[in-house]
């Protein structure tokens, strides 16, 4: 998002790669590897430490499970909440324990593998509704049956070492959650700006086709809201237990407040886009509604920039208040059709949501609107 924007929204079309260019994108691969670097460092350090502890301190000859349990528990997923890590750890330890019991009682072999898998999957499904829980348990179960162990339950100890390493790494080697959270928030605001810009152009030009495109873009915002939610849930959960993230808790909580309100704002943008689609059946421009939505979009852009610079949040709030005090459809568009007034009316909840995202209590945001 740029710090400045003109009244006329930017172009909303861009070349789309096809063929091999759509499949081979080195830049995206580099960005993916760069973004995963903190998680990779966390996994490498934790798995190596778990393996070294089991091998050098406990004297286990091949502590495979110490490393595999650590790697599988941490993973490269966006959701790195301690609870998720703990659930994965428990699932894998269930698989190890069930298979160890079967090896002790009936030995190892092909039919024992089938028995261990069936018992592990049934047990895991009874313990958790998450399919990943059962699959994690089954994978560790196969490792225990397929790779002979020198002593009974030795691999359970290795798995436990890996579990402890994963949980310690979550608290002591956090994945820079604020960076991930801020990236997800910026992505949502950028696409929100793009969807609003398309709707604004449709209003300026009386373009029904472009309004349909704006509605499509508004509908596509929900996955970005979900990504921001997942990142925030993970970051807040880790910040509660990590002594190194205490300073980030306040900023994470501020962005969580923004996210909750922006979730509602994206829904209201979809409502606005739908009304614009219906209103533009006559192909007539709506400059008043376009100007109002453009002002709101500029304020939302300021709010998005406040993710990196909190000093911009009051400016965004004041900019939104300047729009809010004018949102009376009868005075802005006297004598206009009901459909036109409905478009302007639909802007009111959007402004309330954005004001709430900017830190204003909802009651005050509503009170700032003229009565209609």
Task: Compute the distance between CA of residue 138 and CA of residue 160 in angstroms, rounded to an integer.
Answer: 16
Q: Under 8 Å CB-to-CB from 32, ≥6 apart: which residues?
A: none
Q: What percent of the chain has pLDDT over 90?
A: 49
Please state the three-class secondary structure of 83-129 as a single string: HHHHHHHHHHHHHHHHHHHHHHHHCCCHHHHHHHHHHHHHHHHHHCC
Kindly tell me if the per-residue pLDDT of 133 is higher than 80: yes
Among the ranges given (25-34, 142-151, 204-213, 308-317), the one the predictor scored with the smallest mean pLDDT = 25-34
At residue 20 the predicted structure's pLDDT band, cuts being 50, 70 and 90, is low
Task: Compute the distance between CA of residue 179 and CA of residue 16 in angstroms, rounded to an integer.
Answer: 29
pLDDT given at position 15: 53
Residue that wins the pLDDT comparison between 214 and 39: 214
Task: Compute the distance between CA of residue 52 and CA of residue 44 in angstroms, rounded to an integer.
Answer: 12
Residue that wins the pLDDT comparison between 85 and 261: 261
Q: What is the mean pLDDT of residues 171-190?
A: 88
Average pLDDT, the chain: 87
Of 271, 357, 370, 268, residue with least CA distance to 326: 370
Q: Which long-range contacts (CB under 8 A, 24 or more apart) does 189-192 make?
A: 189/1, 189/262, 189/300, 189/301, 189/303, 189/304, 189/307, 190/1, 190/304, 191/217, 191/220, 191/221, 191/224, 192/221, 192/262, 192/265, 192/266, 192/269, 192/300, 192/304
Task: Compute the distance between CA of residue 355 and CA of residue 95 in angstroms, rounded to an integer.
Answer: 50
pLDDT given at position 246: 81
Identify whether the C-beta of residue 227 lies closer than 8 Å to the C-beta of residue 78.
yes
Kindly tell me if the per-residue pLDDT of 22 is higher than 60: no
pLDDT given at position 254: 94
Kindly tell me if the per-residue pLDDT of 7 is higher than 60: no
pLDDT given at position 169: 86
Kindly tell me if the per-residue pLDDT of 174 is higher than 80: no
The dihedral built from the CA positions of residue 32, 171, 71 and 255, taken in this order, carries a sign that is negative
Kindly tell me if the per-residue pLDDT of 240 is higher than 70: yes
Instruction: Determine whether 220 is exposed, middle or buried from the number of CB atoms within 10 Å of its CB (0-12, 13-18, 19+).
Output: middle
Which helix H or strand E contains 282, and what residues bound it? none
Q: What is the mean pLDDT of residues 16-33?
A: 65
At residue 12 the predicted structure's pLDDT band, cuts being 50, 70 and 90, is very low
Residues 92-106 have pLDDT tens digits of 899 999 998 998 888
Q: How many residues does the chain have?
A: 372
For the question of whether the overall pTM of this predicted structure is more than 0.85, the answer is no
The tokens describing 292, both together, are: 């109002």
Instruction: Determine whether 172 is exposed, middle or buried from the number of CB atoms within 10 Å of its CB (0-12, 13-18, 19+).
Output: middle
Kindly tell me if the per-residue pLDDT of 175 is higher than 90: no
Residue that wins the pLDDT comparison between 180 and 35: 180
Task: Compute the distance between CA of residue 331 and CA of residue 260 in angstroms, rounded to an integer.
Answer: 32
pLDDT given at position 328: 87
Q: Where are the alpha helices (DSSP H) in the chain?
A: 20-23, 26-35, 37-52, 64-74, 82-106, 110-127, 131-146, 154-172, 177-205, 208-219, 222-241, 249-279, 287-305, 312-324, 329-332, 338-357, 362-367
pLDDT given at position 338: 73
The tokens describing 156, both together, are: 């359970």
pLDDT given at position 314: 95
At residue 84 the predicted structure's pLDDT band, cuts being 50, 70 and 90, is confident
Q: What is the mean pLDDT of residues 220-230?
A: 95
The tokens describing 197, both together, are: 């810009």
The tokens describing 321, both together, are: 């208040």
Q: What percent of the chain has pLDDT over 70?
A: 92
pLDDT given at position 4: 40
Kindly tell me if the per-residue pLDDT of 62 is higher than 50: yes
Among the ranges given (222-226, 254-258, 274-278, 367-371), the one the predictor scored with the smallest mean pLDDT = 367-371
At residue 42 the predicted structure's pLDDT band, cuts being 50, 70 and 90, is confident
Residue that wins the pLDDT comparison between 372 and 234: 234
Q: What is the mean pLDDT of residues 279-288?
A: 91
Task: Compute the distance between CA of residue 88 and CA of residue 131 in angstroms, rounded to an integer.
Answer: 11
pLDDT given at position 302: 95
Task: Classify 176 in phi/psi space as left (phi over 0), alpha (psi -120 to 50) or beta.
Answer: left
pLDDT given at position 1: 42
């Amino acid at each position: 998002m740029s710090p400045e924007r003109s009244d006329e929204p930017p172009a909303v079309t861009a070349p789309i790669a096809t063929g091999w260019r759509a499949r081979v994108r080195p830049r995206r691969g580099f960005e993916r590897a760069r973004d995963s670097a903190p998680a990779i460092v966390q996994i490498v350090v934790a798995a190596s430490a778990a393996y070294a502890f089991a091998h050098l301190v406990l004297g286990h000859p091949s502590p495979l499970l110490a490393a595999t349990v650590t790697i599988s528990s941490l993973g490269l997923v966006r959701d790195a909440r301690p609870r998720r890590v703990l659930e994965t750890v428990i699932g894998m330890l269930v698989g190890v324990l069930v298979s160890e019991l079967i090896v002790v009682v009936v030995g190892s072999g092909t039919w024992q593998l089938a028995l261990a898998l069936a018992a592990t999957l049934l047990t895991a499904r009874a313990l958790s509704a998450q399919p990943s829980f059962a699959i994690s348990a089954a994978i560790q179960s196969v490792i225990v049956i397929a790779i002979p162990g020198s002593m009974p339950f030795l691999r359970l100890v290795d798995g436990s070492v890996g579990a402890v390493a994963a949980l310690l790494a979550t608290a002591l080697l956090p994945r820079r959650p604020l960076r991930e959270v801020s990236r997800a928030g910026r992505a949502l605001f950028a696409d929100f700006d793009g969807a609003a810009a398309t709707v604004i152009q449709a209003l300026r030009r009386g373009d029904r086709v472009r309004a349909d495109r704006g509605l499509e873009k508004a509908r596509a915002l929900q996955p970005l809201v979900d990504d921001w939610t997942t990142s925030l849930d993970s970051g807040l959960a880790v910040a509660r237990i990590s002594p190194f993230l205490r300073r980030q808790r306040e900023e994470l909580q501020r962005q969580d407040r923004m996210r909750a309100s922006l979730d509602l704002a994206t829904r209201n943008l979809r409502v606005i886009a739908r009304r614009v689609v219906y209103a533009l059946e006559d192909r007539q421009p709506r400059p008043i509604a376009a100007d109002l939505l453009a002002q709101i979009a500029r304020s939302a852009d300021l709010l998005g920039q406040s993710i990196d610079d909190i000093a911009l949040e009051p400016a965004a709030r004041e900019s939104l208040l300047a729009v809010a005090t004018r949102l009376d459809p009868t005075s802005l568009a006297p004598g206009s059709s009901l459909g036109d007034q409905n478009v302007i009316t639909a802007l009111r909840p959007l402004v309330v949501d954005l004001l709430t995202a900017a830190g204003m209590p909802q009651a005050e945001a509503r009170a700032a609107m003229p009565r209609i």
